[in-house]
Amino acid sequence: MKKALEGIRILDLTAHLSGPFCTMQLADLGAEVIKIEPPRGDQSRMRVVAEAKAESPYFLSVNRNKKSMVLNLKMKKGLEIFKELVKISDVVIENFRPGVTNRLGIYYEEMKAVNPKIVYASISGFGQTGPYRRRTSFDQVAQAMSGMMHLSGYGGPPSSTAGSISDTIPALFTAVAILAALRYARITGIGQSIDVAQVHSTTSAMPIPVQRYLITKEEFFRSNPNPGTEKRFPLMELRATYQTKDGYISINTLFHFMDIFVKLLGKDIPELLDEWNRNKYISKEVHGLIVEWIEKRTTDEVAAILEEGSIPYGRVFTLPELVNDPQAIVRGMFVEVEHPKGFSYTTVSSPIKMSETTTVLEIPPPALGQHTEEILSDLLGYSEEEIVRLREEKVVKTSMGEM
């Protein structure tokens, strides 16, 4: 089966999470992603565990379907080779701190002179412009300055959200922008630069609370420094996580679902039915009765009642429950991979399902420099003798030898 992005070549200069997560999405869709690594490799390679034969789960999680080429961009010949690759590629992506690409001589204007159709994407903490542009940022910094940490601290101090979401959100925005820019380049023959900031991508991913504040100047979902007073009463909807007899369940009764919820629980909690019919809200006292009702039942029992009314809910899965969930299994969300080192491991697959093209896992996350020789010979036409000389001069690193 053909792949949606077959024929697209991406030069991936990124490290850590945001950039590699972005290029992995495009690689899953069939793009050829060449991961250009410095001699020491992507820093995420260093977080190794014994269970994966000294490989890094961090690196394994975001670098499938890519080729690894070690290229020393600080050397004149390394820069020349990179420019040769830019001539025959469609996309360059980097997530350095602004200013680094200028020092290396690989900034957009320079690459545009080499290939006018090149799409050049940059992911950074605060963007390429503005007073903060040269500041270093990681996930928690972006969560703090985007408003997410404040909004997530509902009922207590500000709280970060799990999963490095301020890395993965800008990665997805960047992937969308790259696809749009590729289409524009195909139509016009003109490439362009893409500038995506972690902080503002995260803000953009929270449209409802931000938009409501912009209109009303009131924080509807604000963190409250006084423990125990996190809920504003009276309530007109339930949107919270509750403890059951044997776990936790998240309930969301937006819109008409609140009426259905009240009818179902009103059989056991008449005070709820009476109060809702009178006022269309729930007092703190009646909410306490709902909490008690849920606490006395198992998650399965609560879920069965919610399903009766098709009320949106979610069990709070632990990681073992998540990976064994029948829905995830049917959707093929966790797949087995054979690693070149001779061990197998399970990884998270692409959530994208398409009818005419497919996402595949063709290449396990590569060893450092695993494809350097292949890229030099097959794409750029270097001879074996030239590759040996480049390796000896420490311009490149290949699977045949160290720099």
What confidence score (pLDDT) does residue 231 get? 65
Q: Which domain holds residue 265?
A: 239-317
Do 30 and 177 fall into the same domain? yes
Whether residue 221 lies inside any domain: the answer is no
CA distance 142 to 388: 44
Do 195 and 339 fall into the same domain? yes
Structure tokens at 60: 């394994």
Whether residue 374 lies inside any domain: the answer is yes
Whether residue 265 lies inside any domain: the answer is yes
Phi, psi of 238 (to 5 degrees): -110, 125
CA distance 73 to 396: 9
Looking at 317, 346, 370, which one is the last position of a domain?
A: 317
Looking at 317, 344, 367, which one is the last position of a domain?
A: 317
Angle between helices 270-279 and 284-295 in degrees, nearest 10? 140
**Are the C-beta atoms of residues 403 and 396 closer than 8 Å to each other?**
yes
Q: Which of 167, 259, 274, 325 is catalytic?
A: 167
Looking at 317, 340, 370, which one is the last position of a domain?
A: 317
Whether residue 198 lies inside any domain: the answer is yes
Do 19 and 117 fall into the same domain? yes
Do 46 and 112 fall into the same domain? yes
Do 196 and 341 fall into the same domain? yes
CA distance 333 to 362: 16
CATH number at residue 359: 3.40.50.10540
Block residue for tokens 């850590």: 16
* 117 torsion bin: left (phi>0), alpha (psi -120 to 50), beta (else): alpha
Do 105 and 185 fall into the same domain? yes
Do 256 and 349 fall into the same domain? no
Whether residue 230 lies inside any domain: the answer is no
What confidence score (pLDDT) does residue 324 get? 93
Q: How many domains does the chain have?
A: 2
Structure tokens at 23: 């290029």
Q: Return the exposure string of 96-135: e unless at least 16 CB atoms fall within 10 Å of the residue's CB, then b.
A: bebeebeebebbbebbbebbebbbbbbbbbbbbeeeebee
Block residue for tokens 């963007």: 127
Do 17 and 164 fall into the same domain? yes
Do 103 and 32 fall into the same domain? yes
What confidence score (pLDDT) does residue 310 get? 95
Whether residue 342 lies inside any domain: the answer is yes
Give the sheet arrangement for strand 32-37, strand by strand: 192-197, 119-124, 91-94, 9-12, 32-37, 66-71, 396-397
Residue 337 CA to its chain's centroid (Å): 21
Q: With CA atoms as reference, report the closest residue to 190 among 133, 123, 119, 140.
A: 119
CA distance 398 to 391: 7
The answer to whether residue 378 is catalytic is no
Q: Return the exposure string of 320-334: e unless at least 16 CB atoms fall within 10 Å of the residue's CB, then b.
A: eeeeeeeebeeeebe
Please list the pLDDT of the chain residue by residue as tens digits (403 residues): 789 999 999 999 999 999 999 999 999 999 999 999 999 999 999 988 888 887 899 999 999 999 999 999 999 999 999 999 999 999 999 999 999 999 999 999 999 999 999 999 999 999 999 999 999 999 999 999 999 988 886 556 788 888 899 999 999 999 999 999 999 999 999 999 999 999 999 999 999 889 888 898 877 654 444 444 456 789 999 988 899 999 999 999 988 999 999 999 999 999 999 999 999 999 999 999 999 999 999 999 999 999 999 999 999 998 899 999 999 999 999 999 888 888 889 999 998 888 888 887 889 999 999 999 999 999 999 999 999 999 999 999 987 555 5
Whether residue 21 lies inside any domain: the answer is yes
Which residues does 72 contact at the CB level (< 8 Å), separation at least 6?
38, 39, 78, 394, 395, 396, 403
Which residues does 388 contact at the CB level (< 8 Å), separation at least 6?
none
Give the sheet arrangement for strand 239-243, strand by strand: 239-243, 248-252, 313-315
Do 196 and 269 fall into the same domain? no
Do 298 and 155 fall into the same domain? no
Whether residue 213 lies inside any domain: the answer is no
Do 137 and 57 fall into the same domain? yes
Q: Return the exposure string of 73-88: e unless at least 16 CB atoms fall within 10 Å of the residue's CB, then b.
A: beeeebbebbbbbbee
Phi, psi of 321 (to 5 degrees): -70, -40
Q: With CA atoms as reference, report the closest residue to 148 among 161, 139, 138.
A: 161
